[in-house]
Chains A and B, each alone.
Chain A
Amino acid sequence: MQLALSIDLERCTGCRACEAACKLENRLTEGIFRNRVYWIAPKYEGERFEFVVSVCQQCSRPACLRVCGAAAISKCADTGVVEIDDDRCTGCQECVQACPYGAISFDHRRHKAEKCDLCADRRASNRGGPACAAACPGRAIKFGNVAALASEARAEDREIRRIDHFGLAPSILYIEHLRRTDRLSNSIDSDE
């Protein structure tokens, strides 16, 4: 089994409720993030704002795990969640550098690495899935087994964006936008 999130690029409105939920649940202070929402502004005519949730990809071959000299990072055999053992973390920040998704933060007060563990506390205490998925106003973030999430997306005739540019086999699913035929402003009407 591999637990994961699916993030619907069409449904996400960039509101950052997931950031707020994450910090509240995981007691993160300023400058420390387990997830972030980027607003990628349109550069050319006809483009739209793209809102992208950046979060640990729960990779099958995690770069962070390979570089950790303290053996503090492991991938859970049961859930597939990539976890940091706080007691072992020496705060060397190698993992922060290694993650090509920029998903690991460093808590300089605790001198520990911080990253998404799909709300291990909430799962352990039967408080449901991750806080971000529970709060998401746009209903864009879903939590579950990656296989089930993928088949759910395909059942809705939705494509999954391919993001494995680094050969790490990321698990988080980004659901592609709806196919629009007329995304451009005024583009389908002529003056004739």
Chain B
Amino acid sequence: MNNRHQKSLGNPVQGTYAVRQQRGVFHRISDGAGRLTKALLFRQPGAEQYPYTEAGKHPRPDRTVVGACPICFNSCPVTYHLAKDRLTAITGVESDPVTKGRLCPKGQFQIQMYNSPDRLTQPLKRVGKRGEGRFEPIDWDIALDEVAERLKAIRDRYDARALAIYTGTRSSWLNKAGAAALFAELYGTPNQEGTAPLCASAAARAFSITQGSSPGGNSFTETDLGSADYYLFVGDNMAETRPVYFGLIHDCRITNGARMVTVDPRQSATAAKADEWIEIRPGTDMALALGMMFHLQDRNLMDIPFLEKHVAGWERLCEFLREKCYTPKWAAAVTDIRETTICRLAEELSNAKRAVVFGGKGLNQHTSGFQANRAFHMLCLLAGHWARPGAGFMNLNRGMPLHAHAPKGRAPIRGPALRKSPTGWIDAMISGRPYPIKAFISTGNPLSTWPGQAKLREAMNELDLVVYMELFPHATSYYADYIFPTTSALEAGDVNRSNDDRRVGWIEKCIDGPGEARSDLHFWVELGKRFGFEDVLKDEYKLDPARFWDEEMIRAAGTRGLTTERMQANPSRWIRGPVAEPGAPEVETLFQDGSVFPGDPKGRQIPTETGKFEIWTDALEQKFLPYGLSPLPEFYSDPDQLTDLPYLKYLASDEEEGVPSPAWGGNALTRPVRIVNEPIQRSPLYDTELVSGRPPAPHFHSWTHWFWQAQEMWPEQFVMIHPRKAEPLGIRDRDRVIIENQHGSIEAVAWVHTGIRESSVFVPIGWDERQKRDPAASVNWLIDHHLRDPISDQTNMKSILVSVRKA
């Protein structure tokens, strides 16, 4: 391929990242990864080259099965094409009312996951040092016996809390909120967590407080979210993170002539499509909402009838905004956005008939993640954009309470989790304070995906037992004592991920996993047997995940109608919750006037204590006292800023107990804080704002880095850098660049363009130093795992000061 085509289209041709991809095949195996994979796998050379053919022939499918795609948070229904016991193609479902047959790249080439020669295929036991990657094969049952024995010894020496369980990205609901959660309850450890505190727990907690329920109330339909005349994206890159949902919204925007504004430090694909892209200082979105709210109340632009009927504490909020002088002028200085722009945005939002604000990780992944979400809730409420079709605030999160629990009295009483965020366990793993964590079971890849990579490696070396259950030999596998090969979705039976649209979709088991790979359910049931848990983690669940779902996962109010039978009855195999009873109807827009929230025992329209959307109440004020915060959104940002802004001082460390966190019902401990406004001594070395975030649509965390086509499309870890930043540093497009700070150092390939704030750089997440192609130390080496939101326990992953130089 050449670049003449671009010229012909009248576009400037640049030496961009795309050029690297044009050069075709890059197939590099690092020494370490090569050794491990050779040691681990019975590889079929060349199998990867023709993944869709068999002996050079196109396999013709003999049947198709419709089911959910398990990969990302778009949760599209797909058609699996099968020839006997082999998956031959994946396409969309044309009849589906939401996706209309559309499907993103990774949804299609996940076939490369099922047919990959790099999959783990047999249990392994470590024979070398941790990190060395030397293993020998072991029998499943013997390995489980040994793990159980070592767990018992650890529990006897310390207590049950000394076991921590992390269920990572590739883990399904059936694992993280199902079998792993049940095992943890029965075993007695509170330290079991999934990806939520790294991802979206700020969004979930904020929604729970404001509206009494964590998923957003609107649906991805033409008549609901598609019908808005104004879209404001704040820290949400939907085009790359939920491409099919964005396709629907964007199509409606063009057809209906709606306006779309994106607020983001970088020009994401979403920002590239918007009518307006506003470059904001990372970590200051909350100030934007505050400035906009000030303008609304100052100019009488609020929806008073809506507020009087449905909102608790809005007058108190208006007083608070005036007391604190959160004027647009103040917000302009904080956010680096012009005052007039802030006022205009507030007016546009207020004037819109139906407006939707999409928040995302740009709000969540800060020490102020919870309050930033809440501030945008308040903004939407003041403008009256909530609880109507085409009007509301959306931010993807864990969603409905789909969760398995042990029967009453069956599980030992557990104290609160040491921290809600698994990164809050790292210090205890190293120092044993406030209590020792000595065993770690991971069904994901923390050695790429957790902040605090250097400390995490230290912690891994301190542990008495590390168990790893995964599809691929990610970096974490090198530190494991035992590796168990697992199956995925179509090889086991599964449900899709949580998604903005509140849809739960079923995936039927259609093919077998490779070699001795077994499902997560199999692992937990078998391990459970060795502790006498078989009365709850029943043997029959191993081969019947649908039964496990129906019997264990849909017990909470509002979820009882989400049965596999109901999913299977839909040609697209999904159902939109909450649905209180098996026969109850699905709800497109929640909280509407005249409706009752599905499954609410008190029959309320809005399932909060006051029955209203809650901005401020006395009870909420009490709830926030233990944190040292108020439900009113007092502004603060992360400490890593190039200008002096208020930030949090932690009144306890991760090596101290802290206090029970009311936002989690006291089930987790947290560190109380104080907002301080003291100037910080900053090192002049670290003069650049690092923002991390999701790479483009073909990638999703660790696993897609083992799909050859995702690596063909986006091979190397890159860093987006502005030409005015790059030039003085002598950095040109495609140069290798070193990015470092006091926590670590990484390398990336420079992508020099103007689609980023001049003082910021952007590095995508997901790369792993042990991935087969284009391995790279993850951006999480640069991130301090201690800087977390006290309420949601989310880590700041998006405003980090670093230095940048040419390698």
A contacts, CB < 8 Å to B: 10-11, 13-17, 19-21, 23-25, 27, 29-31, 33, 36, 38-45, 47-52, 54, 100-103, 105, 109, 131, 134-139, 161, 163, 165-166, 174, 178, 180, 182-183, 185-186, 189-192
Residues of the A chain whose Cβ atoms lie less than 8 Å from the Cβ of B51: 29
Residues of the A chain whose Cβ atoms lie less than 8 Å from the Cβ of B244: 137
Give 11 A-B contacts (CB < 8 Å), ordered by A residue: A15-B697, A17-B102, A23-B52, A24-B91, A29-B49, A30-B25, A31-B25, A41-B754, A47-B755, A52-B6, A190-B338
Please determine whether B4 and A102 come into contact, CB atoms closer than 8 angstroms.
yes
The residue on B at minimum CB distance from A103 is B5
**B8, B90, B751: most-surrounded residue (chain A CB, <10 A):** B8
Please determine whether A165 and B7 come into contact, CB atoms closer than 8 angstroms.
yes
Please determine whether A15 and B696 come into contact, CB atoms closer than 8 angstroms.
yes
Pick the contact of B755 from A29, A49, A101 — CB < 8 Å? A49
B215 CB-CB contact with A under 8 Å:
no
Please determine whether B753 and A42 come into contact, CB atoms closer than 8 angstroms.
yes
- Known contacts A52-B9, A135-B103, A14 near B696 by CB under 8 Å: yes
Residues of the A chain whose Cβ atoms lie less than 8 Å from the Cβ of B142: none
Residues of the B chain whose Cβ atoms lie less than 8 Å from the Cβ of A103: 5
Residues of the A chain whose Cβ atoms lie less than 8 Å from the Cβ of B106: 20
B351 CB-CB contact with A under 8 Å:
no
Residues of the B chain whose Cβ atoms lie less than 8 Å from the Cβ of A20: 104-106, 108-109, 698, 709
A50 to B18, CA, bound (A): 12
Please determine whether A137 and B243 come into contact, CB atoms closer than 8 angstroms.
yes
* Distance between B287 CB and nearest chain A CB, rounded to angstroms: 16
* Distance between B79 CB and nearest chain A CB, rounded to angstroms: 11
Please determine whether B105 and A41 come into contact, CB atoms closer than 8 angstroms.
no
Residues of the B chain whose Cβ atoms lie less than 8 Å from the Cβ of A166: 8
B601 CB-CB contact with A under 8 Å:
no
B contacts, CB < 8 Å to A: 1-14, 16-18, 22, 24-25, 49-53, 58, 89-92, 94, 101-109, 111, 239-240, 243-244, 246-247, 250-251, 254, 267, 269-270, 272-273, 275-279, 337-341, 344, 696-698, 708-709, 712-713, 723, 751-755
Task: Name 16 extra pairs, CB < 8 A, besides A27-B52, A51-B269.
Answer: A13-B247, A19-B105, A19-B709, A27-B53, A36-B1, A38-B6, A42-B267, A43-B723, A43-B753, A48-B267, A52-B11, A134-B94, A137-B247, A163-B8, A163-B10, A190-B338
* Distance between A186 CB and nearest chain B CB, rounded to angstroms: 5
Residues of the A chain whose Cβ atoms lie less than 8 Å from the Cβ of B1: 33, 36, 54, 102, 105
A54 to B3, CA, bound (A): 10
- Known contacts A20-B105, A166-B8, A189 near B344 by CB under 8 Å: yes
A186 to B279, CA, bound (A): 9
Residues of the A chain whose Cβ atoms lie less than 8 Å from the Cβ of B267: 42, 48-49
* Distance between B296 CB and nearest chain A CB, rounded to angstroms: 17
Residues of the B chain whose Cβ atoms lie less than 8 Å from the Cβ of A183: 275-276
Residues of the A chain whose Cβ atoms lie less than 8 Å from the Cβ of B755: 41-42, 47-49
* Distance between A50 CB and nearest chain B CB, rounded to angstroms: 6
Residues of the B chain whose Cβ atoms lie less than 8 Å from the Cβ of A54: 1, 5-6
Please determine whether A102 and B273 come into contact, CB atoms closer than 8 angstroms.
no
Residues of the A chain whose Cβ atoms lie less than 8 Å from the Cβ of B753: 41-43
Residues of the B chain whose Cβ atoms lie less than 8 Å from the Cβ of A50: 11
* Distance between B392 CB and nearest chain A CB, rounded to angstroms: 23
